[in-house]
Amino acid sequence: MISRSLQATFAIFIFAANLAAQTPSGAALQSPSKSPGMPAASPWIAPTTEDLVNSLGPADLQAVITLLKSNFANPDATTDTELSRATVEGLMARLQRGVMLLPSKENAAAVPPSAFYSEIIAGHIAYVRLGSFNSANLQALDKSLSTLAPKKVNAVIVDLRSSGTANDLAFAAEFAKRFCPRGKTIFTLRKAPGRQDRVFSSDRDPAFRGLVMVLADGDTAGAAEAIAAALRFHDKALVIGQPTAGRAAEYSDLSLPSGKILRLAVAEMISPEGRSLFTEGVKPDLPIDMSLADKRQIFQSSSEKGMGPFVYEAGRPHMNEAALLAGTNPEVEAAEAAQQRRGRVPEKQPPHDPVLQRALDVITSLEVYQSR
């Protein structure tokens, strides 16, 4: 039989849980009316479950475990194994990007590398999609940058939306050196107390010194996030797109007795201004929403079509000399065709890259402003 003290303890927990469930999140309980001249009482907000758990000290935590094991209705749910599983599950929920559990070593393998891609847009703007940070892509970047001066390219758009997480940090720093000034810190790898931090700095002059724009999104992870922060800090680059993944860390894969893999963040990346990029990531200067599925489709097709078809919208047909001679009106024909399509299943619009479009718009606007 449960003692009166235990009954009182559980009554408090049940009361708090019911109160939290019945009170809308963030809603304040109205204080009673006050007499004239009395200061208004601060509204009381019901604590969340997370708030209550975080308020428990060591003695409370141990008491919760003890009370659960001796009083919970289903003893099979509170065995040492189940409580340990709950602990691991709770830690993974709290630490989020810092801990991952993988089925096996095969599943922990890196994703296939992403290829480098580049092209010249609008005659004088270089677009470079770095891809994975490896030797082949670094050589491709060097080759691409070496051709910019003869083409009078004055702006570079660095696309980090396909760089992924499984990248060599030394190679990642080499990519950043092509844009960051000599002697400047690119990023720092801050390790656990007692272990020496590792600083990645540029030891060469940048290969490009003009205007830089950076494209990023949720697929920008790991060292790519550090590069985005470094280019924004050293080159005053604008970051355009969506927040990065918040996985700017060095991970270590540790084997469990069952063969499963525990992937842990063992060091976090620090930006040149001293800010940790782990979990917070890089927030864009110009937020632009775009479907990750559309972006991946565009990247897959760009090797054959280039990026141009996914940036510029199709022009509307206008009356011209040929139409006048032929006795036709393209604008009327387009309107009639649209009228006939009404009532049918809407045609799927071709994918469009508004993030790259915004970068081009910003560069064009700056050029117009500087020319005045």
Asked if residues 276 and 289 have their Cβ atoms less than 8 Å apart, the reply is no
Neighbours of 181 (CB within 10 A): 13
Q: What's the whole-number mean pLDDT along residues 48-70?
A: 93
Share of the chain above pLDDT 70, in %: 77
Measured between alpha carbons, how far is 216 from 284 in angstroms, rounded to an integer?
8
Instruction: Please state, in angstroms and rounded to a whole number, the distance separating the CA atoms of residues 136 and 274.
Output: 31
* Average of per-residue pLDDT across 44-65: 93
How distant is the alpha carbon of residue 290 from its chain centre?
12
Is CATH 3.20.20.140 the classification given to domain 117-287? no
pLDDT of residue 113: 86
254 CB burial (10 A radius; 0-12, 13-18, 19+)? exposed
Query: Looking at residues 250-273, what average pLDDT do you find?
Result: 94
The confidence score (pLDDT) of residue 350 equals: 75
* Secondary structure (DSSP) of 6-56: HHHHHHHHHHHHHHHHHSPTTPEEPPPP--TTSPPPPPEEPPPHHHHHHT-
pLDDT band at 108; cut points 50, 70, 90: low
Cα–Cα distance measured from residue 226 to residue 170, given in angstroms and rounded to the nearest whole number? 12
Which pLDDT band, with edges at 50, 70 and 90, does 112 fall under?
confident
Q: Where are the domains of the chain?
A: 117-287
Sign of the alpha-carbon dihedral angle for 147, 149, 152, 153: positive
* Backbone region of residue 30 per phi and psi (left: phi > 0; alpha: psi in -120 to 50; beta: other values): beta
Query: Confidence band (pLDDT; 50, 70, 90) for 368?
Result: confident
- pLDDT at position 27: 40
Helices (H), 96-237: 135-146, 169-177, 223-234
Taking all residues of the chain, what is their mean pLDDT, rounded to a whole number? 84
The whole-angstrom separation of Cα 228 and Cα 238 is: 9
The pTM of the whole model exceeds 0.85: no
Q: Are 178 and 160 in contact (CB under 8 A)?
A: no
pLDDT tier at 79 (50, 70, 90 boundaries)?
very high
pLDDT at 96: 87
The neighbour count for residue 292, using CB atoms within 10 Å, is 12
Angle at which helices 4-22 and 58-71 cross, to 10°: 110
Residue 67 has pLDDT above 70, yes or no: yes
What pLDDT does 107 receive? Answer: 61
Average pLDDT over every residue of 208-217: 96
**The tokens of 3 are what?**
């003692």
Render pLDDT for 178-193 as a digit per residue (tens, 0 to 9). 999 999 999 999 998 8
d(CA 37, CA 305): 73
- Given this model, what pLDDT does residue 76 score? 93
